[in-house]
Amino acid sequence: MTIVPLLSQSAFEPEVIAILVTAFEAAWASMEASGSALASPRYKRAAQEVMAKRIIETAQRGERNADRLASDALTYLTESYK
């Protein structure tokens, strides 16, 4: 899964979409590297969807820094699904 299908319902500029994609890819790479069960095949799709939606929601509130978007999404996912 990528974040791109979820962006079809939003009105972001192409430059912002590039930031969101970068944030999503970085966040997911960190999740996989962590060895979390959320990155396992069993939970991967759902975890990616939650992460992508969080990145989009945070961007809708004005955040444009890919590192902060990725960090927030990771924190949200890990805190919400312990």
Read off the pLDDT of residues 9-56 as tens digits, 9 standing for 90 and up: 677 888 999 999 999 999 999 999 999 999 999 999 999 999 999 999
Do the domain assignments include residue 8?
no
Decide if 5 is inside a domain: no
39 within domain boundaries: yes
Q: How confident is the model at residue 4 (pLDDT cuts 50, 70, 90)?
A: low
Q: Are 75 and 69 in contact (CB under 8 A)?
A: no
* 35: exposed, middle or buried (Cβ count in 10 Å: 0-12, 13-18, 19+): exposed
Q: What is the pLDDT of residue 14?
A: 85
* Domain limits for position 59: 13-80
- Is the pTM for the entire model greater than 0.85? yes
- How many structural domains are present in the chain? 1
Q: Flag whether 56 is in a domain.
A: yes
Give pLDDT, residue 12.
Answer: 85
Let me know if residue 66 belongs to a domain.
Answer: yes
Residue 19 lies in a domain: yes
